[in-house]
Amino acid sequence: MHVPDGFIDAPVSVGAGVVAAAAVAVSLRGARREIAGEADASGAGAERTAPLAGLVAAFIFAVQMLNFPVGAGTSGHLLGGALATILVGPYTAVLVISVVLLVQGLLFADGGLTALGINITLMGVVTVVVSQVVFRVLLRLLPRGRRTTLGASSFIAAFVSVPAAAAAFTCLYALGGTADVSVAKVATAMVGVHLLIGLGEAAITMLTVGSVAAVRPDLVHGAQGLRRRLELRNAAVTLPGRPAPPVPAVRAPVPEAAPARPGRAKRWLWALGVAASLALAGVVSYYASDAPDGLQKVAGDQGFDEKQKDSGTKDSPLAGYGSKDSDDDGISRSLAGVIGVGTTLAVGTGVFIVVRRRRSAAQPSEPERAAVTAVTAVTAVTAVTAVTAVTAVDQEVP
């Protein structure tokens, strides 16, 4: 669901850019707490989340290259908001998806530059918020301590997040669509096809979360607190001829089992994740579906695909996930995928290392933190809005 330039007009694109920039600014502060483990005085949260965040970004980039068929000449791909939310937390997830979209937009011309704020809002904010709410509600409703609880909650949260993003796109199109197309038809088509894509999203999310939880459950942010509680009964002393007094049950959480050598286990998991990402992007992507994705299919059927404009990075050597130095499409796509995974991993890891170190530094006072957050938000909003507006105006000029 990478929205290209031209589908949404400049005012709505700027508004979405403001929303996206504000969400990123707020997420920077929230991610510091998630990565540094604010609730854990031992700093264990940083050990769990910081190394995983960059890897999650690279993995989502790789899996998004794997378009899967959903029928009627349409394909879909992972959005990743729910997966990132469950693995590393909602605030960090917004930053993860933003990093992925930034790399895709700048290097691969996937999604327009003027639509960057729209894509972050849809794929990095809407999916994260919806999946977080659904996931937490399900954890409260489903029985704790069962292996199926985490998997079922992940599946349903991921599934719901995809048509929610499609519905959000329809709202933006109703406000600033550039073609005279029935909004009701767009809504019906978008939600309908993305219900099918949501099944693929749900399956990928459930399998990935389950695989990580099976090896290192302490690395799954959404699994925190999912521990079976034991009933401990105190022994009672009874006198002959008298009934035994009632014994109150004391429920106590069972400590999570930690690996004997967590540092080595973490390194092996990280290495395995990198290898899997490279394999998916460099090898499996060769067999991905060539059919248009859900948004492209709807745009073609409804007649607003003609409004699409070339991205400002269309001349990038890797535009379209291909390398201009190779004549073989398969090798070209594989090479582009490997470069994309490496770039996303480097950028994502760098971002989260900086976030972790800033949190680990001396803590400023509350007014100072509020002032820094406000300045960061205003700066980010201004920068994104200015770039979006300038690019949009430039594309409007014949």
pLDDT value of position 13: 96
pLDDT value of position 35: 80
Give the residue from 303, 72, 76 showing the smallest Cα distance to 173.
303
CA dihedral over 276, 126, 375, 112, signed as positive or negative:
positive
Can you say whether residue 50 is alpha, beta or left, with left for phi > 0 and alpha for psi between -120 and 50 degrees? Answer: alpha
pLDDT above 80 (res 19)? yes
- CA dist 76 and 373 (Å) reads 37
- CA dist 381 and 290 (Å) reads 36
Reduce the DSSP state of residue 70 to 3 states and report it: strand
Neighbours of 355 (CB within 10 A): 24
CA 381 from centroid of its chain's CA atoms? 21
Burial letters 80-106, b for 16+ CB under 10 A, else e = bbbbbbbbbbbbbbbbbbbbbbbbbbb
Give residue 232's pLDDT band: very low, low, confident or very high (50, 70, 90).
Answer: very low
pLDDT above 70 (res 234)? no
Give residue 150's pLDDT band: very low, low, confident or very high (50, 70, 90).
Answer: very high
Give residue 375's pLDDT band: very low, low, confident or very high (50, 70, 90).
Answer: very low
pLDDT above 80 (res 240)? no
101-122 pLDDT, tens digit each: 999 999 999 998 999 999 999 9
**Start-end of H helices in the chain:** 10-36, 44-64, 81-88, 90-108, 116-119, 127-141, 147-176, 183-215, 262-282, 294-302, 329-360, 366-396
- CA dist 216 and 134 (Å) reads 23
Give residue 76's pLDDT band: very low, low, confident or very high (50, 70, 90).
Answer: very high
Give the residue from 277, 311, 208 showing the smallest Cα distance to 61.
277
Per the prediction, the chain carries an average pLDDT of 82
Give the residue from 173, 171, 169, 79 showing the smallest Cα distance to 131.
79
Q: Are 41 and 259 in contact (CB under 8 A)?
A: no
pLDDT value of position 38: 43
pTM of the shown model: 0.83
Give residue 224's pLDDT band: very low, low, confident or very high (50, 70, 90).
Answer: confident
pLDDT above 50 (res 65)? yes
pLDDT value of position 146: 73
75 beta partners: 69, 293
pLDDT value of position 34: 85
- CA dist 235 and 225 (Å) reads 29
pLDDT above 60 (res 374)? no
Q: Give the pair of three-digit tokens for residue 157.
A: 């949260």
pLDDT above 50 (res 358)? yes
Q: Give the pair of three-digit tokens for residue 163.
A: 């048509």
pLDDT value of position 379: 44
pLDDT value of position 248: 56
Give percent of the chain above pLDDT 70: 74
Residue with tokens 């327009």, as numbered in its chain: 112
- CA dist 45 and 30 (Å) reads 13
pLDDT value of position 50: 61
CA dihedral over 276, 321, 383, 128, signed as positive or negative:
negative
DSSP secondary structure of 266-303: HHHHHHHHHHHHHHHHHTGGGGS--S-BHHHHHHHHHT
Give residue 178's pLDDT band: very low, low, confident or very high (50, 70, 90).
Answer: very high
229 beta partners: 253
Identity of the amino acid at 96:
V
Give residue 288's pLDDT band: very low, low, confident or very high (50, 70, 90).
Answer: very high
